[in-house]
A = this chain, B = another copy of it.
Amino acid sequence: MAVNLPLPVPEKLTAVAGIELGHAEAGIRKADRKDVLVMRLAPTATVTGVFTQNRFCAAPVQVCKEHLAARKADTPIRALVINTGNANAGTGEAGLAAAHATCAALADLLACDATQILPFSTGVILEPLPLDRLVAGLPQAISNLQSDNWYNAALSIMTTDTQPKAASRQVAINGQTITLTGISKGAGMIKPNMATMLGFMATDAKVAQPVLDHLVKQVADRSFNCITIDGDTSTNDSFIVIATGTAAVEVTAIDTPEYAALYDAVLGLSQELAQMIVRDGEGATKFITVTVEDGKDVEECRKIAYSIAHSPLVKTAFFASDPNLGRILAAIGYAGVDDLDVTKLNLYLDDVWVAKNGGRNPDYKEEDGQRVMQQSEITVRVKLARGSAAATIWTCDLSHEYVTINADYRS
């Protein structure tokens, strides 16, 4: 039921020099399914990431943070290992030990230190990680390592996703071409807070560590942190950017034209990957852009946008193509902006002016609302008349299929 989400074409996913990807069918939760991915990095690579703000952050997230903090110039991150089928979250000390053991096992095979490995998991929470099966799958993943394996990588991190999510782009900086390729997965439990469920992006540019750290935060706030499916912030959200440093382009500081060009490219690809997650949201039949403009600050614009995007009543109205648009006003009203003067508020659905100065626009006709609601892509635009800040959130509708998927997820 994905909304206007074209299948990625394997041949159009460009390899990024300095990174190889290998997948395995380890039977973590189900047989005959790609469920383990190893990404091996060139020793020149810099790596950064942002992670879930959920207090129940999963064991692998904790280990990722630990290993990123501990790394030194002579012990760079050399590999990432990702499993689906089990989130290794809510698993206490045993879960931490399992995440460490995963790193140690892969480090043995790759002849590096366990702290040079970043582990990631996604799947069911509160169940012990089947460490034996995961470790047993690693040699198969390593035997598959190759640089043009992004399509299988995208397949390997899927859970309830109906389609793999991957994209590439190339951009010239100072006359040199750099390549960016990324993959993501999502589907449910999606309201990233500092990153999405899982997103990995690699470029062959050489990027200094502090620059990459700055870049990932700036990009996440304008891409993966602008999407929501059901408002459930996962325990395992991670967004990782890898710069392998094999290309001739070098980005050494933030206030440079090279940084600006790299930022544009990474942001564009990140927004594409983030929107893919929404387009393939569990049960999604509509892709909704919610833009709140003329606010006092970005925070209040985001509050109102999320309030609309999370309202089950608004989401079911979109599913039904029913212009029951008073539900949007109600969601704006309870967003928690206490001094909001609703008599100055205007609401648009694409080009249709629905509410004028807080009430129904006298010129609004139900058939105009109906026409827009029947589209598969809709923009809700709210103008607050309070200032000049704005925010945009991407979301999807709430359908029967969402309930079916989440009532059946483990079965």
> In the complex, are the beta carbons of B330 and A234 less than 8 A apart?
yes
Smallest CB–CB gap between A205 and chain B, Å? 34
Contact of A407 among B53, B124, B322, B337 (CB under 8 A): B322
Given contacts A125-B327, A333-B56, contact A359 B95 (CB under 8 A): yes
Is the CB of A126 closer than 8 A to any CB of chain B?
yes
In the docked arrangement, what's the CA distance between A112 and B191, Å?
54
Q: Which of A58-112 contact B (CB under 8 A)?
A: 87, 89-95
User: With A317-B407, A325-B126, A403-B399 given, is the CB distance from A330 to B232 under 8 Å?
Assistant: yes
Decide: A235 near B333, CB < 8 A? Known: A90-B358, A317-B406, A359-B90: yes
Whether the pair B56, A332 counts as a contact (CB closer than 8 A) is: yes
Q: Which residues of B contact A189 (CB under 8 A)?
A: 313, 327, 330
A202: B residues at CB distance < 8 A: none
The one of B127, B310, B329, B338 that contacts A235, using a Cβ cutoff of 8 Å: B329
Q: Which residues of B contact A231 (CB under 8 A)?
A: 310-312
B313 touches A55 (CB 8 A): no
Contact string, A331-343, partner B, CB cutoff 8 A, digits 1/0? 1111101101011
Contact string against B for A residues 355-385, beta-carbon threshold 8 Å, 1 for contact and 0 otherwise:
1011110000000000000000000000000
A307 to B: closest C-beta gap in Å: 9
User: Which B residues are CB-close (under 8 A) to A403?
Assistant: 316, 319, 398-400, 402-403
CB distance from A189 to the nearest CB of B (A): 6
Chain B hits for A404, CB < 8 A: 400
Q: Which residues of B contact A89 (CB under 8 A)?
A: 326, 329-330
Interface of A is mostly: loop
Q: Is A324 an interface residue (CB 8 A)?
A: yes
Give A111-142 as 1s and 0s: 1 = Cβ < 8 Å from B's Cβ atoms. 00000000000001111100000000000000
* Given known A124-B324, A326-B89, A360-B126, contact A193–B312 (CB-CB < 8 A): no
User: Taking the complex as formed, is A176 at the interface, i.e. its CB lies under 8 A from any CB of chain B?
Assistant: no
Establish whether residues B56 and A329, one from each chain, have CB atoms under 8 Å apart when the complex forms: yes
Q: In the complex, which of the residues B331, B334, B354 contacts A53, with contact meaning CB atoms closer than 8 Å?
A: B334
State whether the Cβ of A162 lies closer than 8 Å to any Cβ in chain B: no
Residues of B within 8 Å of A92, CB to CB, are 343, 357-360
Return 21 A-B CB contacts under 8 Å, by A number.
A55-B332, A55-B333, A89-B329, A90-B326, A92-B357, A126-B325, A126-B326, A126-B360, A189-B313, A189-B327, A189-B330, A230-B312, A231-B311, A232-B311, A233-B330, A316-B403, A316-B407, A322-B407, A400-B403, A400-B404, A402-B403
Sample of 8 more A-B contacts, CB < 8 Å, known A231-B312, A312-B398, A317-B406: A55-B335, A56-B342, A90-B358, A90-B360, A124-B324, A125-B330, A312-B406, A400-B404
By Cβ-Cβ distance, the 7 closest A-B pairs, closest first, are A92-B359, A125-B326, A56-B333, A126-B326, A320-B407, A233-B334, A316-B406
